[in-house]
Copies of this chain bind each other. A is one copy, B any other.
Amino acid sequence: MAFPSDLEIARGAALKPIEDIASEMGLPNHLLEPYGRDVMKVNLDAIEELAEAPKAKYVVVSAITPTPLGEGKTTTTVGLGQGFKHIGKRATVAIRQPSMGPTFGIKGGAAGGGYSQVVPMELLNLHLTGDMHAVTAAHNLLAAIIDNHLFQGNERGLDPHNITWRRVLDVNDRALRNIVVGLGGRGDGVPRQTGFDITAASEVMAALALTTSLEDLRARLGRIVVGYGKDGSPVTASELNAAGSMAVLLREAIKPNLLQTLENTPVLVHAGPFGNIATGNSSVVADRIGVHAGDFLITEAGFGADMGAERFFNIKCRNSALSPDAAVVVATVRALKAHSGKYRIVAGKPLPPELLQENPDDVAAGAANLRKQVENIRLHGVSPVVAVNAFPDDFASEHDAIRQIAAELGARVAVCTNFAEGGRGAAELAEAVAEAVEEPTNFRFLYPDEASLREKIETVATKVYGAGNVQYSPQAAQQLDTYERAGFGRLPVCIAKTHLSISSDPKLKGAPTGWTLPVREVRASVGAGFVYPICGDMRTMPGLGTSPAAFRIDLDEHGEVVGLS
């Protein structure tokens, strides 16, 4: 019998009433707002009201540098959350809201997989409670106000050629990447070139993920820099009178969403900032609630430990004032084999057949990446745990090879079969994590606020990525000087680079050293609260393929969704 599809498994789930899930977290009824039958929003008053509850152990789930297929980090995160029940502990899971555009593109859904999923997966993948749409609306209202300002006489003296605020939509639509607006007649606005990004790339989304309260969000929105005046001075959303309305549009979106796993583990789903030009982490407010709602809070950070985890430590924790107790590094046999440099994995294509043959030596040959990512966790004073996300085609000898690498690193390790078996298959990992959090931690940021932007970039590049040095384009150098002068120098940095290599070159596997990080351009998300140097081509609006998931997603004769993976 074939293994059932994610959707088949999800449809067979025995959901608990979501109010019971909330109650087990210690969330009283007055803090909850139902959205449909299986989802609730949690009022931010929960942060204060739960503050006296015991603090959970706070665990971030990261990974080695993934292949283009992804290494099942969400599946492991969800499975680990489920696994704690099997060792008698209460855990909460925190993840990002999936972006809807890619759901209709290549992916067809992102809610974990197999017997480790967040449910109802149709809701998670489609609209949920509308937070993404609220971000879109707030972002585009600001854009409309900017173009209206130009049209109404441009009193502030905005330089039309230096407006950095674009528009956003949660759809994969390459035709919107570069557009000219304001065409038509005299009454139809001022013509200029601009474009759309996907909503996950919105600075509003990044601000939502990092904010600590509605008041703080209002202030962050006001600090958003939308462009520059003809005199070179930064122009903010606040100067254009847009921040109040934007905050009003986000009044519900700031509340985290409560769902559950297939095994009724509570899951807080909130915010979905991009993992390259933004933090790739779920929200601070969800974690601040979840960290007082059980024995463990398991939160996921996007891409490899050099990306999501580094930002988790240095940006998200700086905003949340929370200290992690352990970090999981997810590894797979196929990704380690790929880091040997012998295989080429392409998204949407079958795996090379050689890669599926038993070959523990190739696993060992790819160990450098795992070693470096474990080191990246330790750089921040946190205990690493290696999680092997087991695939049906893996061989025991290959898992042993990973155990061997972990042993050499002195790191705990567990093989996880939770995709096929649910939480039971992650009980070993839960045990390992429960041990790791008991070790003394010494969590630290990699750099102080006071360091210059260049120092911050160079610290991350050399210590985390293994770069030999950093090279700035003349434009980037000038931008860094401008930002330092404008007072943005105290912000942390979020280095936008490929997630497919620990370096800035997606072709380099393993853990290369001595290379040069090229900073082409530097942008500032002043409202969200970070500066992001751009190293490579960052695509912020995906396109659809020749046969997108949208062609298969449909309703069946009962009105149920089909085709979502």
Contacts and interface: CB of A to CB of B under 8 A. Distances in A.
Nearest to A170: B137
Interface stretch (A146-154, A286-294, A455-463): A146-154
A3 interface: no
Contact of A555 (B37, B248, B543, B563): B248
Given A127-B133, A148-B548, A553 B244 contact: yes
A190 B543 CA distance: 12
B559 A141 contact: no
Contact of A180 (B183, B189, B190, B252): B183
A79 B188 CA distance: 39
Given A133-B127, A179-B183, A245 B550 contact: yes
A140 B555 contact: no
Interface-central residue, A140, A189, A248, A544, by most chain B CB under 10 Å: A248
A469 interface: no
Contacts of A22: none
A188 B174 contact: yes
A108 to B, nearest CB: 11
Contact of A178 (B33, B188, B252, B555): B188
A187 interface: yes
Contacts of A177: 183-184, 188-189
Nearest to A38: B33
B104 A141 contact: yes
Interface in A240-258: 241-242, 244-245, 247-249, 251-252
In the complex, the count of this chain's copies comes to 2
A187 B214 contact: no
Interface string A531-565: 00000000000011010101111110001010100
A34 interface: yes
SS of A interface (majority): mixed
A172 to B, nearest CB: 6
A552 B35 CA distance: 29
B180 A140 contact: no
Contact of A544 (B148, B244, B546): B148
Nearest to A192: B175
A126 interface: yes
Interface in A513-546: 543-544, 546
B555 A247 contact: yes
A470 B559 CA distance: 45
A374 B369 CA distance: 79
B173 A178 contact: no
A176 interface: yes
Given A148-B543, A151-B543, A181 B176 contact: yes
Contact of A248 (B141, B189, B561): B561
B33 A144 contact: no
A181 B171 CA distance: 15
Contacts of A551: 241, 244-245
Interface-central residue, A177, A179, A249, A561, by most chain B CB under 10 Å: A179
A377 interface: no
A11 B34 CA distance: 21
B178 A550 contact: no
Interface string A123-153: 0001101100110110011011101100110
21 contacts: A34-B36, A34-B37, A127-B133, A130-B133, A140-B169, A141-B171, A145-B548, A145-B550, A174-B188, A177-B183, A177-B188, A178-B182, A178-B183, A178-B188, A179-B181, A189-B543, A215-B555, A241-B550, A244-B554, A245-B554, A251-B555
Interface of A: 33-37, 41, 100, 104, 122, 126-127, 129-130, 133-134, 136-137, 140-141, 143-145, 147-148, 151-152, 169-184, 187-190, 193, 214-215, 218, 241-242, 244-245, 247-249, 251-252, 543-544, 546, 548, 550-555, 559, 561, 563
